[in-house]
Structure 1
Amino acid sequence: MTEYRRILLGGAVVETVREGEELVARDGRRVKIADAHHLSPVQPGKIIAVHLNHVSRVHEFQIKLSPTPTYFQKPTTSLNAHNGEIVRPKGCKWLNYEGEVAIVIGKRARNISQAEAGEYIAGYTIANDFGLHDFRDTDAGSMLRVKGSDTLCPLGPGFVTRWDFRNKYLRTYVNGELKQDGNTAEMTWDMHYLVADIARNITLEPGDVLLSGTPANSRPVQPGDLVEVEVEGLGRLSNRIVEGPAPIRSELGAQPTESEEVLSTALGGDWEFRGIRAPKKPGQ
């Protein structure tokens, strides 16, 4: 396996290769990983995410999984990086982490079979598919503001080639405490299926990213919290939650809400309404 990282070095964007605890640029310059200013390891033209994939997540919400996957898009303006700040707008309360594996496309893919899909994958990175559930009532299945708000798609720290996605652990920590403990073996649809499914009618270009779903126990985090996603063989993606300097503008558009739908999704299996567990309709 080879791990590549994009960093800011000497005022320029530089692609580096990891060698132990150092990053090496093509011109020979070296920087310690701890001192590097990380950027998103890839620059996707589009980011596509599956709504629900991990069996533990399905069980948590006590729902029946659809026979085929469904998807949403995150705009590229939501991109963030390792050690980047995740902004929760002032006045919002329900920002959830979702540790995931991200698939990176290596060459143009269109109308390919599942058996061929691996040839079109350049490698993998870690994603945290943050969701601002305060807007869950306004965008329905599109998830545009829930999942697409600025800063809510950190990727990194690196991009790893020749990584075998099978039976790898996926863990999310908040302030050092384990919150999500999943495995790629519990995915209903694997990486090759997801790529081939999307490519049936959407052309995937080099650098495009597909997010493959999160395990159970996505929960809200607060400003000041450190959220880390660790995937076996891919490393650990770290991000700090901060509060935005201003609230969402209130003179137009839908405003943050706190309905049953918002609370049941944000709090997952921890939420009960009037003593009866409500049906959940997760969008991740």
Structure 2
Amino acid sequence: MNARATVCGLCLLILSWAAPAAAQTIAGDDTPLRFGRVEYQGKVHYGFLAVGGVHLLTGSFFDATTEHSGKIAPIDEVKILAPVVPTKVIGVAFNYRGAPAPKHDGMAFFAKLPSAVIGPDAEIVPPPGSTELHYEGELVIVMGLTTRNVSEKDALKHVYGITAGNDITEHGYGRSPFVMLKAKGADTLSPLGPWIVPGLDYDNLELQTKVNGKVVQKASTSQMKRSCAKIIAELSRYMTLEPGDLIYTGTPGKTAPLKPGDVVEVRIEGVGTLKNTVAKQQ
């Protein structure tokens, strides 16, 4: 049994005697379970959002020995962190209809850095020399199993769930492949969260990005050129994907520059809203 099955089984057991349904803890959302990481009373915990608040676990979702700790943290007493600590962060380019086609055959993808990942409400800090920092709201796949050379048919069995992400990119560095890593992988350029949600129809969800309350991106993941399963299958031909690894699946439409003080929100249907503020350049 994999880690997600273990923890999900535990959660369902808890919810079988808890009432009302977990869905009622979040108005307007019928997703029963949301997994994440929180800071509570000075310590970092993995847990899931359900009746009463965040149910704290004894370890990571990906550890089959993880159990419910018996503790529940009130939601207004926790700091929500990025939901996982990945070993790899991969991004997919040109993946929505209407985007330019890559100049080579096959899927266009790139690496970001785990150290770039930040959680909800953390500040996006423009990197040195930043002149044109853009938002890119995206659906992010969170891997649940070690995956290598998986078929498209079986790919989603290896997924833990999905979350919201913002592939912040510094366009002012130019388009050379030699600047891509600092343009996309500098510290704080990979906001992620707030929760991981399994079991949704990943390829048919609304994605919306707002800047200062104004909608600047709105699309459905059904408009992606490559489905989540296709993305995983292709990536797994080239690299081993580990539990907790992240795949940013591409952004729809056009993007625009941000400025210090801007508030950026990325909402994925069924997941929630990822909110971050752009800080002053340091």
- Which bin holds the TM-score, normalised by the shorter protein? 0.7 to 0.9
Q: How does 1:118-267 map to 2 (within 5 A)?
A: 118-137=156-175, 139-140=176-177, 143-245=180-282
Kindly, what percent of the aligned residue pairs are identical? 34
Task: Please name the residue that 2:79 is paired with.
Answer: 37
Task: Please name the residue that 1:268 is paired with.
Answer: none
Q: Distance in 1 between matches of 2:254 and 2:75?
A: 30
Task: Please name the residue that 1:15 is paired with.
Answer: 46
Q: Distance in 1 between matches of 2:97 and 2:130?
A: 29
Q: How does 1:24-103 map to 2 (within 5 A)?
A: 24-26=55-57, 27-58=69-100, 67-89=105-127, 91-103=129-141
Equivalent position SS for 1:230: strand
Which shifted more, 90-99 or 40-49?
90-99
Judged with a 3 Å threshold, the aligned counterparts in structure 2 of structure 1 residues 127 and 20 are, in CA distance, closer, same or farther, namely: farther
Q: One-letter code of the match for 1:168?
A: L
The offset of 1:18, in angstroms, is 0.7
The offset of 1:35, in angstroms, is 4.3
**Aligned match for 2:148, one of 106, 110, 114:** 110
Judged with a 3 Å threshold, the aligned counterparts in structure 2 of structure 1 residues 145 and 92 are, in CA distance, closer, same or farther, namely: same
CA contact (8 A) 2:40 2:77 kept: no
Q: Distance in 2 between matches of 1:221 and 1:34?
A: 29
Q: Which runs of 5+ in 1 are unaligned?
A: 246-284
* 1:181-224 Cα distance to aligned partner (Å, 9 max, x none): 01101100000000000111211111111110000121111111
Q: Distance in 2 between matches of 1:92 and 1:64?
A: 25
The offset of 1:152, in angstroms, is 0.4
Equivalent position SS for 2:275: strand
Q: TM-score, structure 1 length as denominator?
A: 0.79
Q: Which runs of 5+ in 2 are unaligned?
A: 1-31, 58-68
Task: Please name the residue that 1:248 is paired with.
Answer: none
Structure 1 stretches of at least 4 aligned residues deviating more than 3 Å after TM superposition: 26-35, 63-67
Q: Distance in 1 between matches of 2:52 and 2:203?
A: 26
Judged with a 3 Å threshold, the aligned counterparts in structure 2 of structure 1 residues 9 and 35 are, in CA distance, closer, same or farther, namely: closer
Judged with a 3 Å threshold, the aligned counterparts in structure 2 of structure 1 residues 237 and 222 are, in CA distance, closer, same or farther, namely: same
Q: One-letter code of the match for 2:168?
A: F
Q: Distance in 2 between matches of 1:205 and 1:91?
A: 34
Equivalent position SS for 2:174: helix
Equivalent position SS for 1:41: coil
Considering Cα pairs closer than 8 Å and 6+ residues apart, tell me whether 1 or 2 has the greater RCO: 1
Task: Please name the residue that 2:14 is paired with.
Answer: none
Judged with a 3 Å threshold, the aligned counterparts in structure 2 of structure 1 residues 243 and 9 are, in CA distance, closer, same or farther, namely: same
- Number of residue pairs matched by the alignment: 240
Q: Distance in 1 between matches of 2:151 and 2:266?
A: 31
Q: TM-score, structure 2 length as denominator?
A: 0.80
Judged with a 3 Å threshold, the aligned counterparts in structure 2 of structure 1 residues 227 and 35 are, in CA distance, closer, same or farther, namely: farther
Q: Distance in 2 between matches of 1:57 and 1:17?
A: 36
Q: One-letter code of the match for 1:70?
A: A
Q: Distance in 2 between matches of 1:120 and 1:89?
A: 34
Question: What value does the CA root-mean-square deviation take over the aligned residues?
Answer: 1.9
Equivalent position SS for 1:240: strand
